[in-house]
Structure 1
Amino acid sequence: MKSAAPTCEKCFLDFQEALEELDENIQLGKLHNFEEKYQKKIIRSFEISHELALNTVGEYLKKMGRKADLGPRDTTVEAFNEDLIDDGQAWLDMIIDRIKSDPLYAVDFQRDLTGNIIKKYFRMLMNFERKMKEKMN
């Protein structure tokens, strides 16, 4: 049995739940001086939030009758063109940071990525949430 494709609204709801979890993990991390265990939780919830944001954009584009089967970079460019995100280059930086944090690479990037999430990316995801709410209403 084939499952129904997720709707834009369902993707956005999933994104909002993941963003809330990211916020909770950031708060927990602060309480525990961002120990390695909490950094990993922050990074994991960030990755999920970012992926769900991209899925939401894809479903939004599909809903608008546009091509939606794009990779992360092209989806990001389309999100910028649709005014769903403020800073296209910073969103592309998110993709690069996610690639750098892949465990296949030997570079210890965890602390830097956690800092970027807290200082920049969380705010950018919150702005995306605000803009998506406006577009969906």
Structure 2
Amino acid sequence: MKNEDIRWKQRYANFSKAMGHLEKALEIPEPDMVQKAGIIQFFEMSFELAWNMVKDYLEGQGFVDIKSPRGALKKAFEVNILEKGHEWMELLQDRNLTAHTYDEQKATDMEHLIQNKYFPILKELHDSFMQKANEE
């Protein structure tokens, strides 16, 4: 097994764990501010692991010079690893705003976006890579 194959699979395992934590956190009915902060943190971790997993996978497929989340997501969309490219770019943009969720209303807005918009597309990616991991 090539090093790149191992890297994306290791990253997938960590992504799976982070997604499990995020999913569990999203089940909390009416989360308080501290719980919302936890949801946002699990979202940030999940996204970070997701784009790095995609980058590692693409490198294993021979694509090089992918240096940023935007670059990894764009290339993954181009080669049909990701669907909903526009939504992924919105996720990236909103992920960059999570550092500013010290305000309770902003944290609440972000928690709703994660719950209703971003968790489902992260889950699609997770399920797609689960299938890739099981095929090998």
Q: Give the TM-score, by structure 2 length.
A: 0.86
TM-superposition CA deviations, 1:75-120 (whole Å, max 9, x none)? 1111212322221111111111112222399895211111000001
Q: Of 44, 51, 54, which residue of structure 2 is paired with 1:54?
A: 51
What does residue 71 of structure 1 align with? 68
Runs of 4+ aligned residues of structure 1 deviating over 6 Å after TM superposition are: 104-107
- Point out which structure has higher relative CO (alpha carbons under 8 A, 6+ apart): 2
Residue type at the aligned position of 2:17: E
The structure whose residues are more often helix, as a share, is: 2
Residue ranges of structure 1 left out of the alignment (5+ in a row): none
Residue ranges of structure 2 left out of the alignment (5+ in a row): none
**1: distance between equivalents of 2:58 and 2:82?**
14
For the 8 Å contact 1:85–1:131, the answer to whether it is kept is no
**2: distance between equivalents of 1:24 and 1:104?**
21
Percent identity over paired residues = 24
What does residue 19 of structure 2 align with? 19
- RMSD over aligned CA atoms reads 2.3
